[in-house]
Structure 1
Amino acid sequence: MLAPYYHATNWIHLPAPLFASKEYNLSVTPESEVRISGVYEYHSELFRAIHAAESIEESSRIFQGYLEVLFNLDEKVRGKKVASYLRLLRGWLFDANSSEGAVLKGWVESRFGIVPFYHRQVISSIHTTAYHEYTRERMHPRLNRNMVYYQLDLLYAYTQTIIRRFFPDYLPRIKLYRGVNDINDHLIIERYGKNHACIEHNNLVSFSAEKEIAQQFGDHVMEVDVPFTKILFFSGIIHRQGFAGEMELLVIGGKYDTRFSYF
């Protein structure tokens, strides 16, 4: 039987099984905070500047400029730009099972201790060929270089700061939607009724803020209440990079009380 797997250690000083639990989701308050070790301490001036910004546009300029300088993101190697968080986001938005998707899932595994159970194929255990292939893909030097995990640490912290500063309606939770073709393809932990269950979602998954958009991606729509501390990124907070389209959010997975409807 497929079962979720969590590492014994992570970077957030919160046990992975607890962070991934539905009980955690319900316990989050507007004052809750999840910090990746060292990020705010080493980059305190950046986050003070972002918090003091008058608009999301100004915050975005500060954040992008800081990362461009810190990680030399404008630099080219053999005619190609160095690996960056922006490339990973674009790759994910095109295909969550891409190589970029593997790197992002690997970052979630590293920082939060939650192992993916799907990437191109079912990953039933960390001792399987499927896990080995996913690991090899997420570690490929074409994408996993230039301290890209540290770039993602800063992206997560930036998103959390932006939510607190400009999106009070996201506190402590926001209702999100995901269109799927078959609910039974998902890891159902417990059923509460015909249209209500506890589902373990993959360690990183996309949701939409708009139910009508989610309906375009499947005959079933899953509805979950996501705590803001599990949001890695959403369109609209990084300007001038082509992310301002449909309202897609990248959400750290785990167990969620999930309701679903049929169309």
Structure 2
Amino acid sequence: MDNNRQSEQSSQPAPSLPASARLPFNHCNLPAVILGSLTFQEHPVPLEIDGVRDFHQDLFATLAAFGRHADRAQRFQDYMTVNFLLDELDEAGLTPGRRRKSRVNANYLRMVRGWSFDSDGREGAVLKRWVESRFGLLARHHAGSLIDRNGDAYHHYVLQGTRGLYATNALEAQLDLLYTYCQYELAREHPHTLHIRLYRGINRIDEHEILETGVCGRHRVLLNNLNSFTSNRERADEFGDYILMAKVPLSKVFFYNRLLPGMLKGEDEYVVIGGAYEVCISTI
């Protein structure tokens, strides 16, 4: 009987998201093993960070009254400024006379703009650490492979992320609300839609961890926990010799260029939460 049980267990497919790529806990309505899986990619559901919508329900009630995206975006930015005292940092606890520029500007806008400039910089480390905390998906790359938790690259990543959060004004809470607002806008812009087709230029197929190779350029890959994509295939051509195309769940879009005016430099950039994905990789 024990042999039969062992045989049944060995015949079961391995999880699509390796245990080494996820945490056993997060601050989301689904565990990482589910939201990071191939099944979730195919059959996504809304993702919610614990308590954010309830705590900021007045904001979303107000946004519902605005018909234009631009008006909602302005209302959101005004709310962020007031709620997080972004223009009143002394009241937020910053010591007078010690206003280091990097700390004064360490807000949600600085983080996403820093990501667009260099996803392997300090702001990128903060965002990847935020994804780890909220969604339980471990970063796989940051200026080098992070698979070796004892390696220099991993220690540098942790140090950058820690320094980036130090003495900031509820920065992770700002990112929580940014993601939640992004999901609100996507639901209004794409009602009854679960996926968006996005592209990413790569120079080598092995830039991503290959879980399984299929036919006709189809691969199952493990993406970093946060990734830049574009909705414009021609734009993706500029960044590599191969094009990676993915059917991305809208619930895994953290933010995108048009969400707030002038937020990102790339007109069609989408920043996507990772995990296991089935993708199609083709040459240009």
Alignment-derived partner of residue 137 in structure 2 = 114
Alignment-derived partner of residue 102 in structure 1 = 125
Whole-angstrom distance in 2 between the partners of 1:115 and 1:78: 30
Structure 2 unpaired stretches of 5+: 1-17, 90-98
**Letter of the aligned partner of 1:95 in structure 2?**
D
Q: CA deviation at 1:117?
A: 0.9
Q: CA deviation at 1:51?
A: 2.7
Equivalence map 1:52-91=2 (5 Å): 52-75=65-88, 77-78=99-100, 81-91=104-114
Whole-angstrom distance in 1 between the partners of 2:270 and 2:167: 22
Give identity over the alignment, percent: 36
- Pair 1:247 & 2:275 matched: no
Which has the larger strand fraction? 1
Q: CA deviation at 1:48?
A: 1.5
Equivalence map 1:8-47=2 (5 Å): 8-28=24-44, 32-47=45-60
Alignment-derived partner of residue 48 in structure 1 = 61
Q: CA deviation at 1:111?
A: 0.2
Q: CA deviation at 1:75?
A: 4.1
Is residue 3–residue 124 contact of structure 1 (8 Å, CA) maintained in 2? no
Whole-angstrom distance in 1 between the partners of 2:272 and 2:64: 22
Q: Secondary structure at the match of 1:250?
A: strand
Deviations 1:86-141 (A, max 9, x none): 00011000111011000000000000001101001101144444322211110105
Structure 1 unpaired stretches of 5+: none
Whole-angstrom distance in 1 between the partners of 2:47 and 2:201: 28
**Letter of the aligned partner of 2:278 in structure 1?**
D
Whole-angstrom distance in 2 between the partners of 1:262 and 1:167: 30
TM-score by length of 1: 0.92
Whole-angstrom distance in 1 between the partners of 2:205 and 2:166: 32
Moved more, 69-78 or 14-23: 69-78
- Pair 1:202 & 2:189 matched: no
- Pair 1:232 & 2:254 matched: yes
Is residue 126–residue 165 contact of structure 2 (8 Å, CA) maintained in 1? no
Deviations 1:166-215 (A, max 9, x none): 2338x200000000000122100001125110011000000000100000
Moved more, 43-52 or 151-160: 43-52
Q: Secondary structure at the match of 2:258?
A: coil
Q: CA deviation at 1:143?
A: 6.3
Equivalence map 1:132-147=2 (5 Å): 132-141=155-164, 145-147=168-170
Q: Secondary structure at the match of 2:163?
A: coil
Q: Secondary structure at the match of 1:118?
A: coil
CA RMSD, 1 decimal: 1.9
Q: How many residues align?
A: 257
**Letter of the aligned partner of 1:216 in structure 2?**
E
Whole-angstrom distance in 1 between the partners of 2:243 and 2:166: 33
Whole-angstrom distance in 2 between the partners of 1:52 and 1:129: 50
Is residue 51–residue 162 contact of structure 1 (8 Å, CA) maintained in 2? no
Residue 188 of structure 1 is aligned with which of 196, 205, 210?
Answer: 210
Q: Secondary structure at the match of 2:185?
A: helix
Instruction: Classify 1:183/1:35 alpha carbon distance in 2 versus 1 (closer, same or farther; 3 Å).
Output: same
Moved more, 84-93 or 74-83: 74-83
Whole-angstrom distance in 1 between the partners of 2:175 and 2:263: 18
Q: CA deviation at 1:64?
A: 0.3
